[in-house]
Amino acid sequence: MYEFTYHRPGSVSEAAKLAGEHADGKILAGGQTLLPTMKQRLAGPSDLIDLSRLDDLRGIEVKGGVVTIKALTRHVTVATSADVKAAIPALAELAGMIGDPAVRNKGTIGGSVANNDPAADYPSACLALGATITTNKRAIKADDFFKGLFETALEEGEIITSISFPVPEKANYQKFRNPASRYALVGVFVAKTGGHVRVAVTGAGSRGVFRVKDFEAALDANFAPAALDGKSVAASGLNSDIHADAEYRAHLITVMAKRAVAAAA
Amino acid sequence: MTAVSMTVNGQHVSAEIDPRTLLVQFLREHLRLTGTHVGCDTSQCGCCVVHVNGDAIKSCTTLAATCDGADVVTIEGLAKGDVLHPMQAAFRENHGLQCGFCTPGMIMTAVELVRRKGTDLDEHTIREELEGNLCRCTGYHNIVKAIGAGAQAMGAAAE
């Protein structure tokens, strides 16, 4: 690890001030991605702003058909929350598929969304469920939030405080995981909210999470796996690596989308 | 340097540390509690699992500084004097180890698993929950048996 200056702010405003002052600093939430990246010296922040004391950023609330999860809520809490399981079971299931039990005991929803790893699970849920990401400054629609590989709409000194998910009529997440890293080779989140279907894919896109409008239109007309017969995403623009090439990922997207629709229907 | 203080296995400790210090380094190098192992150093193998405020976490992927004020339990903190914790005893009785390197992490994961899911664990649940713990000897069969038996023994001991 490269050297850094450690800060442990006591409030969101203090954390935001520190983040604004240290342009090369990073915000530490659960650290389950950031710390491994720093250990490999792929990241070398000048300052580390540890949010672990900000207990008012933890908690889950379901009100008026919206599930709001505060940013420092850990994956284990979402996965086991009776409120989330009742309102959006697919979201609780997704949280329970992240990493392994020890990682889920530390990793947070805000950290995952802010980092926007192209193989992370939560970005697909945000996009498919039409979530709103709330920061210390403003509210951002998921459609405007995810900008590309590890890139988001967050500005310097901006910290996610909560994420709100409208409760869908139907939803399901299907993940084809890399057996070693447990990250998604392909993950597909399908949700039907207010009569409209949204399909979001993680793990596959070379620019991160994306929606498949073609699938959405077909499923709007007929919410059944057969609606996706013969449909596929072009392999160009998908990741190729030693685990799966772009053609295989393209194939998996249709397969996982159909499974998600079958499970949600 | 950053000041940290925490409780480790019931004892209060404080130190001035480089903020880069990982919890596992703090435990092994500062406190000389070398029962917690580092297998992969990339949060895959689970040899470094310890409990922080009751949660099983990977101490190679946690800064010691973040654990300021926390209650930490390592493998050294499980036995009561010469009496092994029921999960440790079950690993011995079921020969749930070959080389033993992964054993501390396996046991710390297993003890937390029992707290979360109870003392009646089927084989499928145990194997699923061991997702983040690797045994390089591939001795999973007896590890799974040991955890099942240890869970039952923890239940009996609590009665």
Per-residue pLDDT reduced to its tens digit, B54-79: 999 999 999 999 999 999 999 999 99
Per-residue pLDDT reduced to its tens digit, A2-55: 999 999 999 999 999 999 999 999 999 999 999 999 999 999 999 999 999 999
Compare CB distances from A101 to B19, B65, B131 and report the shortest one's residue. Answer: B131
Token readout for A214 is 């073609």
Amino acid at A6: Y
Task: Give residue B158's pLDDT band: very low, low, confident or very high (50, 70, 90).
Answer: confident
Residue B140, min C-alpha distance to chain A (Å): 17
Asked if B56's CB is within 8 angstroms of A101's CB, the reply is yes
B56 beta partners: B51
Please give the mean pLDDT across all residues of chain A. 96
Classified as helix, coil or strand, A8 is coil
Q: Does A85 touch chain B (CB under 8 A)?
A: no
Distance, C-alpha A97 to centroid of its chain: 12
What's residue B159's pLDDT? 78
CATH 1.10.150.120-classified regions of chain B: 86-158
Full set of structural domains in chain A with CATH: 1-49 (3.30.43.10), 170-264 (3.30.390.50)
Per-residue pLDDT reduced to its tens digit, B91-146: 999 999 999 999 999 999 999 999 999 999 999 999 999 999 999 999 999 999 99
Architecture of domain B2-77: Roll (3.10)
Q: Does B57 touch chain A (CB under 8 A)?
A: yes
Classified as helix, coil or strand, A93 is helix
| Chain B residues inside the 8 Å CB shell of A28 | 63, 66
CATH 3.10.20.30-classified regions of chain B: 2-77
Per the CB < 8 A criterion, the answer to whether B18 and A5 are in contact is no
**Residue carrying structure tokens 């008012």:** A56
| Chain A residues inside the 8 Å CB shell of B55 | 76, 105-106
Lowest mean pLDDT among A45-59, A135-149, A180-194: A180-194
Q: What percent of chain A has pLDDT over 70?
A: 100
Q: DSSP labels for B22-83?
A: BHHHIIIIIS--TTS--SSSSSSS-TTEEEETTEEEEGGGSBGGGGTT-EEE-GGGTSBTTB
Top-tier CATH class for B86-158: mainly alpha
Token readout for A129 is 């469920």
Half-sphere exposure of A264 toward its Cβ, with a 13 Å CA cutoff? 30
What's residue A181's pLDDT? 78
Q: Which of B43, B55, B133 should be substituted to probe chain A, the one whose Cβ sees the most A Cβ atoms within 10 Å?
A: B43
Task: Give residue B80's pLDDT band: very low, low, confident or very high (50, 70, 90).
Answer: very high
Q: Does B62 touch chain A (CB under 8 A)?
A: yes
Asked if B19's CB is within 8 angstroms of A6's CB, the reply is yes
Per the CB < 8 A criterion, the answer to whether A192 and A93 are in contact is no
- ipTM confidence: 0.95
Torsion of CA A127, A12, A27, A74, to 10 degrees: -60
Token readout for B73 is 């339990």
Residue B95, min C-alpha distance to chain A (Å): 24
Classified as helix, coil or strand, A59 is coil
CA Rg value for chain B: 15
Q: Does A8 touch chain B (CB under 8 A)?
A: yes
A67 beta partners: A62, A165
Q: What is the mean pLDDT of residues A230-250?
A: 95
Asked if A1's CB is within 8 angstroms of B41's CB, the reply is no
